[in-house]
Chains A and B, each alone.
Chain A
Amino acid sequence: MTTSLLPRRSARVRTKRVSSREGFRVNWWLTTLMLVASLTVLLPLYFTVAMALKTPDQIGTGTGLAWPNPLNWENFAAAYVATNFPRAFLSTAFVTVFSVLGSLACSSLVAYAIARNWNHRFFRGSFVYLLSAMFIPFPVIILPLIKQTALLGLDNPAGVVFLHVLGGISFNALLYIAFVRSIPVELEESARIDGATTWQVFRKIIFPLLAPMNATVGIFAFLGSWNDFLLPQMMIADPALQTLPVVQMLFQGEFNTNYSLAFASYLMAMAPTLVVYILAQRWVLSGVMRGAVK
């Protein structure tokens, strides 16, 4: 059935496109504008790639726009060794994976509890309490936090994960609560009639229905924890467990910057984000849009 359906459908789409092209007029103003706008992404990316492939001599000459010739691939190897890349990468990946999973699990649970108990004053109050956390700038509380986490033995990547999950709850719960409210209570009631417990209702009905919001929260959590600098820099005591953004400071002295190694290293750190984006592009975009509307 699948095989018979799909080709026919795509054929119809193709004919439609061809016919629309006949009377198609290009909006040159808009196209130009979009081309210029795309340069804001492409140009920095071009510089990053070009810089990563230059020798120090090539960086000093010309306008910087020139494509390096010959290409100097050794920058990547040198940056790999200098940052002890595999180790820093693993540490960053550890922080990121568990921050994302933790954010999804904790924030959705909190949101479900609050949204479905809205008539209780305690839950309404706790919503305001969580929201108010968004008004406290992070740098204000960082030193007490460091002291506290050190006492609890959390001055390591696990502590960074913990704080990422905790710090994300207020904003993520805000997103989730709005979404949970739009899910009809009748769905849950029917599950209750079938004998489902609260946990089962959440795990089997609500959480799957939260999928679009999970995508949004997951993306925020991923980008936030992968690129985070301040928290790991201050929190992780053992330099061997430090994350990539902090380790990459190596290329930036007070008075000199090793541009070619820095950009090679930035590209390597960026790679997972790019790969995930290319693989999950479709879901990312649809997830972001759904999140935006709700």
Chain B
Amino acid sequence: MQRSNSEPHPEALPAFITVLSQPLPYFGSRPVNGVMAAATLPSRRSLFRVAGLAGAAVLIPLSGCAGHAGQQNGVTTLRFMQNKPEVVNYFNQVIKDFEALNPDIRVIQDFNEGNFVPGLVRNDPPDVVTRGFATETAEFVRKGIFADLSGLPVAKTIDPKFQDLISSWGQYKGHETSALPFSIAAAGVIYNRDIFAAHGVAVPTTWDAFIAACETFKAAGITPIYGTFKDAWTLRQGAFDYVTGGMLDVGGFFRDLMARGANIPQSAPESFSNHYRSSLPKILQLASYSQNGAASKNYSDGNAAFGKGQAAMYLQGPWALSQLVQANKDIKLGTFPLPVTNDPDQTKVRVNVDMALSITRNTRKRAAAERFLNYLLEPSVVNTYNEKNAAFSPLMGAPAVSNPHLRGVAAHVAEGRYYQGAGTYFPPSVPMNNYIQSFVFNKNGEQFLTAVDDEWRRVAERTAV
């Protein structure tokens, strides 16, 4: 009845009425007259109908998968977080095999590592975790995020010298085993066998021989070392870690440094200025054997160029091998540890714990998580993984690596002649990559050492208890 009173706006009404008949908000130009509205409306309306149907179609299946996690019919669901998207398929297969043997456990693989800290915050962390083991993971260990695994039977199958790589970062309560190594990566100098053979260069075992090899290549017009300085991390893990690790006792240095706490004047024997000065000229010398324009090349440029044989050597770890082979199937590669001194017995190789397994302390499914972890550390699982991914197995009595690319460093790893890269000891709050990059560019060693000392002191003061 009252509607009939609304005649005062005769022209406005038809437009409103057409609008009101829309099931969903109607966007677009307001019709200028009835003709245009009549011509365009049906298509819009059908579009909205499609949108509405799509929305409904989305709702129905999603409501079905809400209550997935947790325990259903006696089956325990574990969440396994691993941070290497490239090996998702391998672990999917491992999980399938594990579930076949353990029908009462279901494992969900989660490669979204960004969800680890949120998981801790909401007190719903993943049950089993693998991470690369360095500063950041050590920080979690110090806070007691991970459970003690020393009682597990598999813990005794791990080679103690590899377990030491983890405990060197500090143990929770001084004795707990918070992580078991799963995969050890050994990084050295990747070299092109064909280029070495063509110029009659043997794998150098001393610094002088290495420099002589670089000069030989330079004289022949070949880039000795392919530099990718645009990605600052490649300078840190390459030139910086290799030179410092090869000539200094990096592990001991950081042990002393951390023992001193925040109270480190630059003149102290534990300071970077004192300790690292001798290594700087060699870092610059290494960098000087790179091609022109290395500053504008990044890691993937380097992989493509080195794969095509544009340089004799490449300071990268085993993770680059698959990329190099992808760029050139026929490339013949080898790896040798960079000799930084003239005593071949002193030569060491850079290693890092690429994957370490942990169980979170707060998990409510500890028993199932331990069974899964035991399975992951069975020789067939862990050795196969490392064989496939150009890495070293941490198990005692693991078979020797058959990967021809790694033979040059296998002996050093087996004999324990290795170090963890100095760059990995820095917390993320020290922009070490950038400091090293600017040192290589402006060659001011004094400024570099002062900056690193200052940064370390600042962070130590901030985090001191």
Contacts and interface: CB of A to CB of B under 8 A. Distances in A.
Interface of A: 1-2, 5-6, 56-57, 60, 82, 90-91, 93-94, 97-98, 101, 104, 143, 146-147, 149-150, 155-157, 187, 190-191, 193-195, 204-205, 207-208, 211-212, 214-215, 218, 233-242, 246, 249-258, 279-280, 282-283, 286-287
B398 interface: no
Given A155-B124, A194-B5, A237-B124, A204 B114 contact: no
Given A82-B88, A233-B114, 19 more contacts: A6-B39, A57-B329, A91-B62, A97-B55, A150-B121, A190-B8, A194-B2, A204-B16, A207-B25, A208-B16, A208-B19, A214-B27, A237-B122, A237-B124, A239-B108, A239-B109, A239-B110, A241-B62, A282-B28
Contacts of B39: 2, 6
A143 B28 CA distance: 39
B320 A104 contact: no
A233 to B, nearest CB: 5
Interface in B317-357: 317, 319-320, 322-323, 326-329
A256 B322 contact: yes
Nearest to A246: B112
B47 A150 contact: no
Interface string B146-176: 0000000000000000000000000000000
The 10 closest A-B pairs by CB, nearest first: A150-B122, A215-B27, A283-B28, A255-B319, A208-B19, A239-B110, A60-B327, A253-B86, A195-B2, A97-B55
Nearest to B19: A208
Contacts of A208: 16, 19-20, 26
Given A233-B112, A250-B111, A256-B86, A60 B29 contact: no
B38 interface: yes
A97 B56 CA distance: 10
Contacts of A212: 27-30
Given A94-B62, A150-B124, A257 B300 contact: yes
B121 A146 contact: yes
Given A193-B5, A242-B112, A146 B118 contact: yes
A280 B54 CA distance: 16
Interface in B32-73: 35, 38-39, 47, 51, 54-55, 58-59, 61-62, 65-66, 68-69
A142 to B, nearest CB: 8
A211 B2 contact: no
Given A150-B121, A150-B122, A233-B115, A90 B25 contact: no
B25 A250 contact: no
Contact of A235 (B28, B118, B319): B118
A150 B29 CA distance: 42
A234 B115 contact: yes
A42 to B, nearest CB: 24
A154 to B, nearest CB: 10
B221 interface: no
Given A97-B58, A255-B319, A240 B122 contact: no
A211 B121 contact: no
Given A2-B39, A93-B54, A255 B85 contact: no
B6 A190 contact: yes
A217 B59 CA distance: 23
Contacts of B38: 2
A90 B122 contact: no
A5 B39 CA distance: 12
Contacts of B114: 233-234, 246
A194 B51 CA distance: 34
Contacts of A252: 85
Sort chain B's interface into a size bin: 35 or more
Nearest to A9: B35
A294 B121 CA distance: 43
B122 A286 contact: no
A14 B195 CA distance: 69
Contacts of B29: 212, 283, 286
A155 to B, nearest CB: 6
A134 B304 CA distance: 44
Contacts of A286: 28-29
Nearest to A191: B6
A97 B25 CA distance: 13
B307 interface: yes
Contacts of A195: 2
Nearest to A290: B29
Contacts of B55: 93, 97-98, 101
Contact of B323 (A155, A190, A246, A256): A256
Interface string B299-319: 110001001000000000101
Contacts of B65: 240-241
B304 A238 contact: no
B122 A147 contact: yes
9 contacts: A93-B54, A157-B62, A215-B27, A234-B115, A235-B118, A239-B108, A253-B84, A253-B86, A255-B299
Contact of A5 (B19, B35, B79, B124): B35
A237 B115 contact: yes
Interface string B74-99: 00000100011110100000000000
Contacts of A101: 24, 55
Contacts of B2: 194-195
Nearest to B110: A239
B462 interface: no
B58 A90 contact: yes
A93 B58 contact: yes
Contact of B85 (A146, A187, A251): A251
Given A146-B121, A190-B9, A211 B323 contact: no
Contacts of A143: 117-118, 121
B123 interface: yes
Nearest to B119: A237
B326 A204 contact: no
B388 interface: no
A155 B85 contact: no
Nearest to B38: A2
A207 B27 CA distance: 10
A1 B333 CA distance: 79
B307 A60 contact: yes
B35 A1 contact: yes
Contacts of B12: 187
Interface in B258-308: 299-300, 304, 307
Interface string B1-26: 01101101100100010011000111
Q: Which residue, of A60, A143, A240, A252, has the highest number of chain B Cβ atoms within 10 A?
A: A60
A75 B83 CA distance: 23
A246 B328 CA distance: 31
A50 to B, nearest CB: 16
